[in-house]
Structure 1
Amino acid sequence: MTHVNPINEFALGVCYYPEQWPEELWDDDLRRMKEMGLSIIRVAEFAWSVFEPEEGVFQFDLFDKVIDLAHKHGLKVIIGTPTATPPAWLTFKYPEVLNVTFDGVTLQHGLRRHTNYNSPKYRELSARIARQMAEHYCDHPAVVGWQIDNEFNCEISEFYSEADHLAFREWLQRKYVTLDKLNEAWGAVFWNQTYSAWEQVFLPRPTAAPRQPNPHQALDEKRFISDSTISYAEVQAKVLREAAPKQWVTTNGLFGHLDSHRMTDELLDFFSYDSYPQFSTINFDKNEENPLLDRGWSLTLSTTRSISPNFCIMEQQAGPGGWVNRMDMPSPKPGQMRLWTYQSIAHGADMVIYFRWRTAAFGNEIYWHGLNDYHNGPNRRLREAAQIGAELAKAGPHIVGTRNRAEVALVRDYDNEWDGEYDIWHGPFSWKSSKEWFKALQHQHIPNDVLYMRSGTTLADLQRYRVLVYPHPAIMRDETAALLEQYAESGGTIIFGCRTGYKDERGHCYMRPFPGAAARLVGISVEEFTQIKGTRKPATIEWKQGGGEATTADLFNDVLTVESDTVEIIGKYASDYYAGKPAVTRNAVGAGSAWYYGAVFNEAAARNVIGLLGLSSPVANWLSLPEQVELTIRDGEAGPLYFLLNYAEDAAELILSEPRTDLISGDTLQGSVVLEPYGVLILT
């Protein structure tokens, strides 16, 4: 579908669960929201039993009252279809809808996401509740849009019910047509896994080793799960399009085993994401050098932007978070909630909805705090949200609809993500290298996008960027390599790391010299390679003059041989038995170039490449920024907006050599400017 951004004015809102609170609170809640500058609420994504307390018996009184009250107070409403948490009557009467674990354990009622997408009965009942709700609210003046389900593949992203095994078999028959082709794709002759009847084919199941399926079967499993999820979402999307054509459709998430790009293209008006930056501060690797912490969340927001250039944050962290028995996040410090709100906006959000209005007094999420505490009285988070509401009432109209600008893209694809979950010879490297590149770009104030290579990716999509960083694409089709070669010939720079190009789309290793499909593009071959593990220490790379200081080559090293006279050696190994051998090369390709870095990137190596490429911050000629401040740029008809976000507890000094106006305060700034801890500026 062709996407036209339906968000024509900036919206700041909150998730609201009236079914959890006495009715006498509702009117006052909604009045206070409006006074704080909020304009939209999200409701009902977990309320199936409220709408359908018995099978086939529908009632709308509770939400009719709430949505009418919201309209009275001038608030818009997003309704969630409640299919992430089916009623107890449903799972009791129709146990075939329940999901089953890899080990064969049937998940029971009591949490959420305990169903499977391929149960015909669950699809039927999901479509019915969605239709009942859509037909009832399609003309309500407060209702502007729908959220399908909630966080697809959250909690669990694997499905092994009987319905899933049957659907997988049918999916394979459509994909391969014959068993001979399936056996070939899965390399079934290895370990005598050859199938002679379709009834013998299943999703991965427990084997002699605790969990060691055929790797090609495991890759197809992830593709199947994604297709199943999208197919289930389509059941509801079709209903909503038919019954409520004047209201937009989205869903929220960004979880595993789901091609969110395809789902958005085919089913949604825009994508939505749930942003909790403190996950990156409580789960970080204590051995990581120079961690970005909550600033690193911007990489995930960049991924969200790759799906939908203008998106919604359906849940923005508004306080400390946690379940009764897991996820114990501390309280955001003064200013951090505001910082994280603008972080989302800086990366493309045109709608931000806080989770949640009031902290739950019962259930698993009694410690997942909202804007209000249990006591419902004034607190710091409410004051901070009101400040943001007042600021965005003025600044929002200038932000909405603008698009992010970047010259560098970090490149990914779903095949390598899914294959890399199982294949430890390349999977762990991609996230590491992307994160280190992101650090290097962030600290030098060079904005970047995330770009997913897909079957429909065009040369024009690539040519939007001066530099593409595609760290470890083990799976690479020849067609992808040819497209990247066209990009380089037209003047672009493509940068690869070790473990590039040696597998086809089935996950089979090419019977060619490494780097396989990318060999012609980079002009080198891999003489040999080694893991850096156990007693093996990282080698040292010495870079060419002007390339920066020596760096370590971490985790995995490719030893390179130059195969073309268009290749320049940029760095050589300076230690271990391959000392003196090429480690970093640059191949001239038409008007551009293709780099090969024979290791897993760290920030120092990425900085060296950035220096050799001559990349610099787009504001370098008028603005000096310390490392602790993030820069992003959103372009619109009125010109660029420069978002500056200080993630540190210390104030940051900025130097502006020319006057600029801060969109938030309206002040004109020049010379030395102090940005307070967790502070934000939007310069025009």
Structure 2
Amino acid sequence: MISTLLSQLNGPDGDSTPRLAYGADYNPEQWPREVWEEDVRLMREAGVNLVSVGIFSWARIQPARDQWDFGWLDEIMGLLHAGGIGVDLATATASPPPWLTTAHPEILPVTASGETVWPGARQHWRPTSPVFREHALRLVRTMAERYADHPALAAWHISNELGCHNIYDYSDDAARAFRDWLRDRYTTLDALNHAWGTAFWSQRYSDWEQILPPRLAASHPNPTQQLDFKRFSSDALKEYLRAERDVLREITPDVPVTTNFMVMGNTKGMNYPDWAGEIDFVSNDHYVHPGPQDRDELSFSANLTSGIASGRPWFLMEHSTSAVNWQPVNVAKRPGDLARDSLLHVAHGADAVCYFQWRQSAAGAEKYHSAMVPHAGADSEVFRAVTALGQTLKALAPVAGTEREPARVGIVYDWESWWASEQDSHPTALLDYRQEALDWYSALLALGVRADVVTTTADLDRYDLLIAPVLHVIPAPLAKELTRYAETGGHLVTTYFSGVVDENDHIWLGGHPGALRDLLGIRIEEFGPLLDGDSVDLDGAGTGTLWTDRITVTDPTVEVLAHYRTGTYAGMPAVTRRAAGQGSASYVSTRLGVDGLAGLLPELLGPAGVRSELPAEARGSVEQIVRRGPDGRFLFLVNRTDGTVPLTGLSGEVLVGDTDSEGSLVLGPRDVAVVRLPAG
């Protein structure tokens, strides 16, 4: 449905050629009426062709239970349409109005310790509240019926960042819904008691009504109860998403429906791969977290979003033009960052570049959050950069609708392993699942090697090398699939704390890494986590932190690629590889960090025949991504550095980028170039 949506966005000049979407959240209700026409004029100047409207407008649209005010929204929809700007219309259910929470405080979430989450911010509602759902769906139906035939309506935007602040609710509503979810999953109490291991600590249940969410307890709550509550909480929001979607599809079946995910940082409560099939196209919000891997993390998140979207185009629904307002120190972006950040998302499959928000707020909690039109107004560096990007995106119109070309390396990212590996009562509380995956990604970028970030449901056979860091939860079918992958020619790499438990968080007995023990040809009797600040040296593979394993090689064909040189396990294997059928399976037993992994990876890439496609002078400095369509391939080249990088030997039509006197591409600091390559 994205292609249909894009074909409706004809741009402010009336050009009917499909193009990338460009815009922002637009909140006209924050501004006097006289500002609205200036907004539309500036949007046309900037090249904006799509805005999200109504996201936090419930209190304005419905000021009382039986009172509606659509006049202002009718007017702004008309103004936008007259300006050639499409509307991604939000259902406005993200935050309930004061009249609703006053009349029905039972819709408010409850924390694990029993505290009520009161109004005053946003998202103060229970995903399982039947009262909230009744009022919210009434609003959705009313809006859908009113705007079903409006010519500005391009897409529906369900709620906003579902679960950002209310993913875990421990209320009585949640307890009832959790018990229903558990009945569906386990059918009998005997099955639940087995899955939860309730023989431990006298937790055996004899009646469903005895079961509660993992509220504040005297010690560590049951680990499988915790894992199931995470699964349930994601499913509860998914069911709410479906409820809104079904109303919209009933009334406006031809209007695409989306909601904005938050694939970034440590936002892990929502199982987005499981949600992706519920909407017509995937959308994502992303904000840069300053640090040594900030742009690698941006690339990683955009890459993962593409994986969640199964490689199909998706929308970047929110990011920032400059500083945000919610970090400890909110750093402004440097010249070039605005365009580089945006185009890196496009490179990884985004067919829309949108911001929070259009005009920077004068009041409220996000008044210091940057926008397309800053407090300084249109006469500002930010707005000039915004307008320049609009022209760049217009030049990239041929990219719209193309898909990202698969890489030869895949990094597996698994939500249930993320959830389970970081729970309490584990060998270490210092494990950071996402950081380990990001380190592998950064190390590949440092070598100039393209990689996809994919889920366990992806077609694994398309990858010559598959890296599965901390794949902690491995059900039997997945273990079988990974074994088949390796034995039929794939090269699997996994790490410490992988293959340890099944889907019930039960240990695979007989020695670690249980589910992959035979495939790897190793056996681990005991983990050796390291204290914070401790490290071990490896021969030829750098320095390890966080974790070590006491590895016994059980298959004589196993090759030891590196030994521990220091530490408790000095002289014992640290990195191993076993030939498996036509492929291989390797194990890395410690956290090596980006530099250590970059040193080890050539050894792991070799058997798979994977090498960088970049010129030697660009490896490590430039990230390369390819999008392809029926009319050719589009090569995106992103400068990862603050220096100038010359690129020689490239042929094709330069759509974006600078060339030297001899016609060769030159990437300035933080620049992005796009080259159209011949089809084939």
Fold in common (TM above 0.5): yes
Q: CA deviation at 1:527?
A: 4.1
Name the CA distance, whole Å, in 2 between partners of 1:425 and 1:273: 34
Q: 1:431 to 1:150 in 2, by over 3 A?
A: same
Distance of 2:532 and 2:359 partners within structure 1: 50
Q: Does 1:37 align with 2:34?
A: no
Conservation of the 8 A alpha-carbon contact between 1:481 and 1:521: no
Tell me which amino acid in the other structure corresponds to 1:207. Answer: A
Residue 340 of structure 1 is matched in structure 2 by 341
Q: How far apart, in 2, do the equivalents of 1:166 and 1:392 lie?
A: 49
State the partner residue of 2:15. Answer: none
Query: Is 2:360–2:367's contact at 8 Å kept on the other side of the alignment?
Result: yes
Q: CA deviation at 1:617?
A: 4.9
Give the counterpart of 1:175 among 159, 166, 185: 185
Match of 2:247 among 239, 243, 261: 239
Q: Shift of residue 233 of structure 1?
A: 0.6
Q: How does 1:223-622 map to 2 (within 5 A)?
A: 223-254=231-262, 255-265=267-277, 267-277=278-288, 280-281=289-290, 284=291, 291-308=292-309, 309=311, 310-322=313-325, 327-423=328-424, 424-425=426-427, 428-454=431-457, 461-533=459-531, 537-542=534-539, 549-612=540-603, 613-614=605-606, 617-620=611-614, 622=615
Q: Is the 8 A contact 2:3 2:401 kept in 1?
A: no
**Cα shift at 1:667:** 5.9
Tell me if the contact between 2:405 and 2:627 (Cα under 8 Å) persists in the aligned partners.
yes
Distance 2:432 2:296 in 1: 21
Query: Structure 1 pair 397/623, CA: closer, same or farther in 2 (3 Å)?
Result: farther
- Identify the residue that residue 123 of structure 1 maps to in structure 2: 133
1:641 matched to 2:641: no
Give unmatched runs, 5+ long, in structure 2.
Answer: 8-17
Q: Structure 1 534/60 Cα, relative in aligned 2: closer, same or farther at 3 Å?
A: closer
The aligned residue for residue 287 of structure 1 is none
Provide Cα deviations, 1:350-384, integer angstroms capped at 9, x if missing partner: 01112211110111111012122235341111111
Question: Alpha carbons of 1:443 and 1:5: their partners in 2 closer, same or farther (altered >3 Å)?
Answer: farther
Q: Closer, same or farther in 2 for the Cα pair 1:91/1:273, shift >3 Å?
A: same
- For 1:545, the equivalent position in structure 2 comes to none
Match of 2:624 in 1: 631
Q: Which amino acid aligns with 2:282?
A: F
Please tell me whether the aligned partners of residues 427 and 527 of structure 2 are also in contact (alpha carbons under 8 angstroms).
no
The 8 Å contact of residues 588 and 594 in structure 1, kept in 2 or not, is answered as yes
Secondary structure of residue in 2 paired with 1:531: coil
Aligned position for 1:57: 67
Is the 1:433–1:601 Cα contact (8 Å) retained in structure 2?
no
Which residue type is aligned with residue 242 of structure 2? Answer: E
Matched with 2:106 is 96
Question: CA separation in 2, counterparts of 1:540 and 1:5?
Answer: 56
Matched residue, 2:224 = 216
CA shift in 2, pair 1:132/1:668, >3 Å:
farther
1:23, 1:98 → 2: CA distance? 34
Contact 1:15 1:353 survives alignment (8 Å): yes
Cα distance change, pair 99–607 in 1 and its aligned pair in 2 (3 A): same
Given residue 593 of structure 1, which amino acid in structure 2 is its aligned partner?
S
Q: How many angstroms does 1:476 deviate by? A: 1.0
2:645 to 645, 653, 668: 653
**For structure 1, which runs of at least 5 residues remain unmatched after alignment?**
285-290, 543-548
TM-score normalised by length of structure 1: 0.91
Q: Does the 8 Å CA contact 2:2/2:401 hold for their aligned counterparts?
A: no
**1:377-396 CA-partner distances (Å, limit 9, x unpaired):** 41111111111111211222
Q: Partners of 1:19 and 1:240 in 2: how far apart?
A: 24
Distance 1:534 1:52 in 2: 53
Distance 1:668 1:345 in 2: 25
User: Residue 517 of structure 1: CA displacement?
Assistant: 1.0
Deviations 1:308-344 (A, max 9, x none): 1311111121122215xx6541221221111111111
After superposition, the Cα gap between the structure-2 partners of 1:466 and 1:38, relative to the gap in structure 1 and judged at 3 Å, is same
Deviation digits for residues 621-674 of structure 1 (CA, Å, limit 9, x no counterpart): x563153332222222233222122243x3322231243432125869867643
- Closer, same or farther: CA 327–41 of 1 in aligned 2, 3 Å: farther
CA distance in 1, matches of 2:568, 2:167: 43
Give the deviation of 1:618 after TM superposition: 4.5
Please, what is the CA RMSD of the aligned residues? 2.1
Is 1:680 the counterpart of 2:672? The answer is yes
1:534–1:20 distance in 2 versus 1, CA, 3 Å:
closer
Shift of 1:129: 0.7
Query: What is the TM-score when the length of structure 2 is the normalising length?
Result: 0.92
The 8 Å contact of residues 538 and 552 in structure 1, kept in 2 or not, is answered as yes
Paired letter, 2:537? T
* Contact persistence 1:623–1:654 (CA under 8 A): no
Identity %: 34
Q: What secondary structure does 1:352 align onto?
A: strand
Q: The residue matched to 2:462 in structure 1 has which SS? A: coil
- Given that 1:504 and 1:510 are in contact with CA atoms closer than 8 Å, whether structure 2 keeps it comes out as yes
